[in-house]
């Protein structure tokens, strides 16, 4: 666990996503949760040394399985965006593992199944400000990378947790994305306002401005490639885009298939959601 500023921590050791914790006198705010129940117990135990850990609240940065599957094991109230809460209304009460090969982290973890979801207890639409200390904690809706995606900003400490808005070194998650809004928010991160911030990626820990620029260029390329595809074709038409995109990464042998699956799934679903017509039984039907 790394202390970024007094009482503000980051942890990258657990499977799933980068975790955060803010230990004010009033209580402990945790950012995202480990995937595995045993990791959740270990993370909670490690936070005992940070101060007041009896009054705990969890903040999920979006509804992605990797960061919400372990939320119930954190045994506390959950905060999330209203759109994130809507996602849980479409999910069954219990998560059952299936071999979907979508390129997510949970698929590489054994023994994760029959887990009950923990929908947010507290929701907001635009922003929410928490006054648990002299300095505020600001939760802001930053749409684009996922449904109900938010950032957590500490303006006095100049720290921001951005979730999956930038994922240096690995492909972005595109299945639930909205590229124009995503691209806009990456541009915001590159502005002078955040030039002296510590920026925490939900997959890569502390990242630099040049890594955000690389992510921005990648998304612009993906947006351009998708715009050149004919409307109404089967989703598999996007498969030929994967090899040149994947060539920009250098995954280990064990993660190579995961990254390929992430692109295949994400591009197909994004194209399918954004086309004006679809092919049904060989015929093009307008939506």
Reported pTM:
0.89
In the predicted structure, residue 278 carries a pLDDT above the cut 50? no
pLDDT one-digit tens code per residue, 240-273: 999 999 999 887 877 888 899 999 999 999 999 8
Three-state SS sequence of 7-56? CEEEECCCCCCCEEEEEECCEEEEECCCCCHHHHHHHHHHHHHHCCCCCE
CATH number of the domain located at residue range(s) 2-228 in this protein = 3.60.15.10
Of the listed ranges 58-62, 72-76, 152-156, 171-175, the one predicted with least confidence: 72-76
CA nearest to 125, candidates 80, 188, 189: 80
The pair of three-digit structure tokens given for residue 77, joined into one six-digit string = 């109230």
Domain chopping of the chain, boundaries: 2-228
Q: What's the whole-number mean pLDDT along residues 102-124?
A: 78
CA nearest to 205, candidates 3, 10, 14, 5: 10
Q: What's the whole-number mean pLDDT along residues 84-97?
A: 78
Helices and strands of the chain, counted as H and E runs: 7, 17
């Amino acid at each position: 666990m790394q202390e970024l500023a007094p009482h503000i921590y980051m942890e990258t050791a657990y499977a799933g996503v980068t975790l955060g914790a803010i230990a004010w006198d009033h209580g402990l705010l945790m950012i995202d949760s480990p995937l595995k129940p045993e990791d959740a117990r270990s993370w909670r135990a490690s936070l005992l040394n940070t101060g007041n850990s009896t009054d705990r609240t969890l903040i999920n940065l979006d509804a992605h399985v990797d960061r919400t599957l372990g939320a119930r094991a954190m045994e506390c109230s959950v905060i999330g965006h209203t759109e994130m809460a809507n996602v849980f209304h479409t999910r069954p009460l219990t998560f059952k593992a299936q071999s979907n090969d979508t390129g997510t982290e949970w698929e590489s973890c054994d023994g994760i199944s029959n887990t009950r979801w923990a929908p947010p207890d507290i929701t907001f639409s635009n922003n929410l400000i928490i006054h648990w200390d002299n300095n505020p904690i600001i939760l802001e809706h930053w749409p684009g990378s996922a449904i109900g995606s938010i950032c957590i900003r500490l303006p006095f400490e100049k720290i921001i947790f951005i979730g999956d808005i930038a994922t240096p070194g690995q492909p972005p998650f595109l299945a639930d994305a909205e590229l124009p809004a995503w691209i806009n928010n990456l541009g915001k991160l590159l502005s002078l306002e955040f030039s002296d911030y510590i920026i925490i990626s939900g997959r890569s820990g502390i990242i630099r401005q040049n890594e955000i620029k690389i992510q921005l260029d990648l998304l612009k390329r993906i947006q351009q490639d998708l715009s050149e595809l004919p409307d109404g074709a089967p989703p598999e038409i996007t498969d030929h885009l994967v090899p040149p995109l994947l060539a920009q990464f250098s995954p280990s042998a064990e993660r190579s298939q995961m990254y390929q699956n992430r692109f295949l799934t994400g591009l197909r679903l994004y194209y399918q959601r954004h086309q004006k017509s679809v092919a049904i039984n060989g015929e093009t039907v307008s939506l």
